[in-house]
Amino acid sequence: MKKIFLINHIPKCAGSSLRKSLENNFKDELLNLSYNPIRSGKYEYTKLIYTKFFVKNFRSKIFIGKSIIHGHFCYDDIPDFPNHKKIQICFFRDPIEWFGSFYFWEKDYRKRNTGDPITFLKNYQLHSAFKRHLGKVKIEDLDFVGLVEKYSESISLLNDYFNLKIENILKNKNKNNYFDYKTKLSKLCDINYLKKSLEENFQYYYKAQEKFDTFKILKK
């Protein structure tokens, strides 16, 4: 039975880095979802991903010959493929660092009127962001999980486990404070309140850490 890799890109979880690596390695076998062709014409894009039309047409010609689907989606929206085994993969990030990356990206790079971090959290309903991407799929059901904090090791384990040759490319990295958004956020809000507000995401992250460790054990 053929494999089809479903790599779910939770925003600000090194998805741009992984996308670039997948483009270099898989070319025509890769289907990138939810990337706007206006920004980059080489991406096959469908804004219908969150609609019933997308599900009904999932087996249309746009998917023929694809072995990897990568992008922003919910696993619940992906139907089964005849004669294919779905391999579900997702990368996770410490929720405070993830939130900080999201917040400062919108505030400083996109120049959005974000308000303070707590207001931003509530307006974007980020309390359960990880769950919205996984849907009914549990961490235990995923075939592989990677951690942004251990991105290079994650790529190495992913390659070993599935006999792949994905390059280790890291994009959008701020060399000065890539993993120190907590310090920046603590100057703008009550960091303990923020952490409590992100508790559901933390539960997913802790389980992802545990599952990641099992792959490290298997490699030994």
CATH number of residue 48's parent domain = 3.40.50
pLDDT of residue 90: 96
Residue 142 near residue 90 (C-beta atoms within 8 A): yes
pLDDT of residue 83: 80
pLDDT of residue 179: 63
pLDDT of residue 180: 85
pLDDT of residue 44: 38
Q: What are the residues whose beta carbons fall under 8 Å from the beta carbon of 115, sequence distance 6 or more?
A: 123
Tens digit of each residue's pLDDT (9 = 90 or more) over 83-127: 888 999 999 999 999 999 999 998 998 888 889 999 999 988 888
Please name the residue that has the structure tokens 């993830």. 98
For the chain, the domain total comes to 1
pLDDT of residue 187: 94
Structural domain that includes position 132: 2-219
Distance, CA of 155 to CA of 147 (rounded, Å): 9
Structure tokens at 211: 């599952």
* Three-state SS letters, the chain: CEEEEEEECCCCCCHHHHHHHHHHHHHHHEEEECCCCCCCCCCCCCCCCCCHHHHHCCCCHHHCCCCEEEECCCHHHCCCCCCEEEEEEEEECCHHHHHHHHHHHHHHHCCCCCCCHHHHHHHCCHHHHHHHHHCCCCHHHCCEEEEHHHHHHHHHHHHHHHCCCCCCCCCCCCCCCCCCHHHHHHCCCCHHHHHHHCHHHHHHHHHHHHHHHHHHHHHC
pLDDT of residue 110: 87
pLDDT of residue 169: 75
Q: What parts of the chain have a pLDDT lower than 50?
A: 35-56, 175-177
Distance, CA of 133 to CA of 72 (rounded, Å): 8
pLDDT of residue 195: 96
